[in-house]
């Protein structure tokens, strides 16, 4: 999960007498899915192509390390909405160009910065396609504080409306319409918490276009270990694999160019 019960209580002011821990835990799980929908972008069957000299993605029967288009710029996200990041969040398919068949490949390792490895090298007459989510802030090895806070504020807002866990899936939150008939009163605690949540989502969303320096750009929010590239080289690597509409490869669902 993106946050714990203590964080929800601290930011929302909810007491143990008003809302139980069991209820909050169920609402955190639900909120995690809603937060994912608001702060991350989903890519479906992106074809891996050459990106730059650091991320060649060569398929030659030897190489076992691959990078998605959004690697270094952003982080892998939570693809299956379970509130954590592991190999199940990077869905890899091996397409055999000879007979047109495909086989799902479980990554041996995954790196939150957008790369993964496979145990067995992919043969040269094959193609790799990957489905995943990406986000401007990391959820691993620890969840970024903004994401944790956003989840806590949204959970607190839902809790104040007194919505039952069984009915949580019937409401719409975030970029979608929120059912104000479920106890959300303008100026009330649920409304204020939801407003704070929306502000945090805006801050995170802005990071998709924000650049740290005009001359050198960081490919990682972890500045101590950031990969640096000259601006021109970054521009060249960003355009690799794009067509005129800003969409890369068959089935790309990342919402256009960054």
> What are 165-203's pLDDT values in tens digits?
554 555 555 443 444 444 555 567 888 999 999 999 999
- Statement: the pTM of the whole predicted model exceeds 0.85: no
Instruction: Tell me which of 136, 153, 174 is where a domain ends.
Output: 136
Residue 167 in domain? yes
Residues 52 and 97 in one domain: yes
Question: Across the chain, what does the average pLDDT equal?
Answer: 79
Residues 48 and 86 in one domain: yes
The answer to whether 157 touches 190, Cβ cutoff 8 Å, is yes
Instruction: Tell me which of 118, 136, 154 is where a domain ends.
Output: 136
242 forms bridges with which residues in the sheet? 248
Residues 200 and 153 in one domain: yes
The answer for 52, left when phi > 0, alpha when psi is -120 to 50, beta otherwise, is beta
Closest C-alpha to 32, from 68, 8, 14: 8
Residues 63 and 49 in one domain: yes
Residues 114 and 45 in one domain: yes
- Give the separation between CA 83 and CA 139, rounded to whole angstroms: 8
186-202: b (≥16 Cβ within 10 Å) or e: eeebbbbbbebbbebbe
Q: How many CB atoms lie within 10 A of CB 231?
A: 13
Residue 35 in domain? yes
Residue 106 in domain? yes
Portion of the chain with pLDDT greater than 90, in percent: 62
Report the pLDDT value the prediction gives residue 184, as an integer from 0 to 100: 54
Residue 238 in domain? no
Residues 152 and 87 in one domain: no
Closest C-alpha to 72, from 44, 52, 49: 52
Query: What pLDDT band is residue 209 in, cutting at 50, 70 and 90?
Result: confident
For the chain, how long is the longest CA-to-CA vector? 64
Residue 74 in domain? yes
More reliable by pLDDT, 158 or 240: 158
Residues 126 and 161 in one domain: no
Residues 128 and 156 in one domain: no
CA angle 45, 51, 56 (to 5 degrees): 100
The answer to whether residue 205 scores a pLDDT higher than 70 is yes
Instruction: Tell me which of 136, 165, 188 is where a domain ends.
Output: 136
The answer to whether residue 230 scores a pLDDT higher than 60 is no
Query: What pLDDT band is residue 1 in, cutting at 50, 70 and 90?
Result: confident
Residue 215 in domain? no
Q: Can you read off the two tokens belonging to residue 158?
A: 């839902």
Residues 10-39 have a mean pLDDT of 92
Report the pLDDT value the prediction gives residue 208, as an integer from 0 to 100: 84
Contacts 24+ apart (CB under 8 A), 213-217: none
Report the pLDDT value the prediction gives residue 119, as an integer from 0 to 100: 97
Domain of 180? 5-39+141-206
- Give the separation between CA 195 and CA 90, rounded to whole angstroms: 32
132 forms bridges with which residues in the sheet? 43
Residue 96 in domain? yes
Residues 66 and 115 in one domain: yes
Residues 19 and 97 in one domain: no
Residues 90 and 171 in one domain: no
Residue 175 in domain? yes
Report the pLDDT value the prediction gives residue 80, as an integer from 0 to 100: 95
Residues 178 and 131 in one domain: no
Cis peptide before 141 (omega within 30 of 0): yes
DSSP labels, the chain: --S-HHHHHHHH---TTTS-HHHHHHHHHHHHHHHHHHH-EEEEEEEP----SS-----SSS--EEE-TTBTTBEE--TTSSSS-SGGGSEEEEEETTT--EEEE--SEEETTTEEE-SSPPPTTEEEEEEEEEESS--SSS--HHHHHHHHHHHHHHHHTT--GGGGGGS--TTS---GGGT--TTSHHHHHHHHHHHHHHHHHHTTT--S-SSEEES-S-GGGPPEEEHHHHHHHHHTTB-TTS-BSTT--S-S--
How many domains is the chain partitioned into structurally? 2
> What are 104-147's pLDDT values in tens digits?
999 999 999 999 999 999 999 999 999 999 999 999 999 999 99
Report the pLDDT value the prediction gives residue 183, as an integer from 0 to 100: 52
Portion of the chain with pLDDT greater than 70, in percent: 71
């Amino acid at each position: 999960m993106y946050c714990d019960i203590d964080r929800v209580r601290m930011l929302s002011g909810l007491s143990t007498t008003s809302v139980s821990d069991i209820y909050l835990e169920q609402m955190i799980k639900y909120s995690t899915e809603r937060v994912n929908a608001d702060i991350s972008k989903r890519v479906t069957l992106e074809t891996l192509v050459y990106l730059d000299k650091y991320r060649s993605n060569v398929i030659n029967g030897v190489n076992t390390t691959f990078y998605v288009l959004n690697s270094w710029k952003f982080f892998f996200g939570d693809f299956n909405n379970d509130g954590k990041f592991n190999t199940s969040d990077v869905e890899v398919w091996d397409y055999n160009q000879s007979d047109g068949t495909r086989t799902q490949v479980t990554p041996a390792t995954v790196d939150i910065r957008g790369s993964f490895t496979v145990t067995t090298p992919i043969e040269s007459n094959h193609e790799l396609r990957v489905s995943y989510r990406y986000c401007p802030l990391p959820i691993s090895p620890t969840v970024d504080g903004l994401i944790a806070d956003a989840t806590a504020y949204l959970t607190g807002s839902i809790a104040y409306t007194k919505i039952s866990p069984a009915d949580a899936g019937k409401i719409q939150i975030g970029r979608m319409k929120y059912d104000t008939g479920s106890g959300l009163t303008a100026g009330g605690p649920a409304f204020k918490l939801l407003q704070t949540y929306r502000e945090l989502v805006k801050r995170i969303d802005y990071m998709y276009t924000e650049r740290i320096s005009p001359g050198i750009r960081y490919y990682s929010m972890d500045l101590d270990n950031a990969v640096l590239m000259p601006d021109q080289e970054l521009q060249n690597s960003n355009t690799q694999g794009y067509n005129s509409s800003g969409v890369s490869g068959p089935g790309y669902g990342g919402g256009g160019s960054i």
